[in-house]
Amino acid sequence: MSKTATTQGGGTIPAQPGPRGAAGPARRGPDSGIVSAEGDMSDASGPEAHGADSDVVILGAGPTGRPGERATVRLREAAPDDPPRYAPEWLELREGADAAARAHDLLDPLRIRLANLPGRSGGLVIHDLGCGTGSMGRWLAPHLDGAQHWVLHDRDPYLLHFAAVASPRSSADGSRVTVETRRGDVGRLTPDALHGASLVTASALLDVLTRDEITTLAAACAGAGCTALLTLSVAGRVELTPSDPLDEEITEAFNAHQKRTGLLGPDAATVAAEVFSEHGATVQLHPSPWRLGPDEAALTAQWLRGWVGAAVEQRPELRERADRYLRERLDACTAGELRVVVHHTDLLALARPTGGAS
């Protein structure tokens, strides 16, 4: 219990030991569509399966709690005492809710922009930042026509391996989808790194960045003339049914926790809209809430533990009341009596093409 990680949906969670015998890096296969998956996986560690123990919190359910760290975007090699990475189990648990929440209304303007790009005949080049296990590609690639080449960015070779081997193989019209992987830091992106990109995308990333990092991202997209689709940024609002008098205090404490050390937390989407607009992009924001009911009880329980845990870390005086609150909420979740709406925001930034057309 000596390490904790702060969840994307919220909270602090205990570190667990990693498994033995992680798989090796993905290599090119005749039909795999994988160009490369960089990084030696022989020493990679990840969370162990937790079986039927519903009280165990999944390791790595979000960005790290160490001040200034972003779990999936750090460039340097991980040291033995580094905070834990995102867990594939957590990313898998939330993937269905993420897919259901993302704003489909932003897809049509995105398709129109991509269809009118110069040089489209060569296919789309899509950069996925902080890709995790690749859920964004699995969701988006089947919504877009034409050949696609995905460049998956993450600092974690273990997650890059998952993303590469589980990437989609075909687009909406059956064209081929290929992938490559890159280890790197979103805070160091440059227009050169995005040269030739059609689209930059990310999921649940903006709220764990600083204003400076979002400015760097917007400047890189503007310099490369590529559009950005950035989904599932926390909005700082949660609705629980039935309600409880402590809901508001937990929400306020969690939001304050998300903004520690200069991270933007629930302000991220608004700040990103301003910054991308300042760099000449046309920006659209759209709500993308998780709607969690009895069918998502496992995700709701994990989210609750993390959400309340972060609130207590921010305001330790809440602990006694929060412990009672969490027990009652988990009991209601198990009984199928709890429903939760976790509000997020999706952002589409249509960059001004570098050729000067609007």
Q: Tens digits of per-residue pLDDT, 20-65?
A: 222 222 333 333 333 433 333 223 333 333 333 444 433 333 333 3
Sign of CA dihedral 328, 57, 5, 183: negative
Q: What is the pTM of this model?
A: 0.78
- Domain edges within the chain: 4-48+55-234+264-289+345-350
| Residues facing residue 27 across a β-bridge | none
Q: What is the pLDDT of residue 140?
A: 98
Q: What is the pLDDT of residue 266?
A: 96
DSSP letters, 301-326, are HHHHHHHHHHHHHH-GGGHHHHHHHH
Mean pLDDT of 194-223: 94
Q: What is the pLDDT of residue 34?
A: 38
pLDDT, tens only, 297-308? 999 999 999 999
Mean pLDDT of 139-166: 92
Predicted confidence band at 281 (pLDDT cuts at 50, 70, 90)?
very high
Instruction: Give me the percent of the chain exceeding a pLDDT of 90.
Output: 63
pLDDT tops 70 at residue 253: yes
pLDDT, tens only, 99-135? 999 999 999 999 999 998 876 667 999 999 999 999 9
Q: What is the pLDDT of residue 66?
A: 38
- Chain mean pLDDT for the chain: 79
Element (H, E) at 132: none
Cβ pair 352, 277 in contact under 8 A: no
Cβ pair 68, 261 in contact under 8 A: yes
Strand stretches in 103-166, DSSP E = 124-129, 148-153
To the nearest 10 degrees (0 to 180), the angle between helices 297-314 and 247-258 is 70
Reduced to 3 states (helix: H, G, I; strand: E, B; else coil), residue 163 is helix
Please give the CATH superfamily to which domain 4-48+55-234+264-289+345-350 belongs.
Vaccinia Virus protein VP39 (3.40.50.150)
